[in-house]
Structure 1
Amino acid sequence: MARELRAQLSMSQTGWRLYVVVRGSVDPWPEHSFGPGGSVPTFTERAQALKALGFVQAPLAEWEWTEFSTDPADPASPVWLLASTWVDSQEEAAA
């Protein structure tokens, strides 16, 4: 049975990073850093990073973007973006 895995893309102090949430694992989650820079990684860059980590975007899955305020009490505060999508391991996708 295939596991439901979620990949997330977020901005950190060192730039954009992509990681796959592996619930129930004590191992570090697979992660890719896009390095410094403010540009959001393209769809192709995200797909290549997922492939390097051993995953592919699940069929029919789309990237979903969520915006969070850094200070919910202040509507003028900067926002933090988080994108996520469902992924499959490359082995499961090939089966």
Structure 2
Amino acid sequence: MPPSRPKATTGHSELLVTSPELREDRAQTAGLDDPTTAHVLRYTLATTLVRGKTDLVLVAEILGHARLETTRRYSLPSDKDKEDALRLITVGR
């Protein structure tokens, strides 16, 4: 039987969004007029980190995910990401 993996601790991102007052302040700072939820702010944080090329393992740790597969859903590449990756390939040089 494989060794059990320790459960993830509370993600640091939860500290940013647990208080309704803090959540409202963060939303106003971000220029959001509509009320937002903790889920939206967590998703936005994760997506921003991944789009900023933060390592997925680090993002998983910040979010408190026990499995990297859970974090991977934030890493869907855009068409621009794919084009940029293909530009890195040099042929015949």
TM-score, L = length of structure 2: 0.25
TM-score, L = length of structure 1: 0.25
Please say which structure displays the higher CA radius of gyration: 2
* Structure number having the greater helix percentage: 2
* Structure number having the greater strand percentage: 1
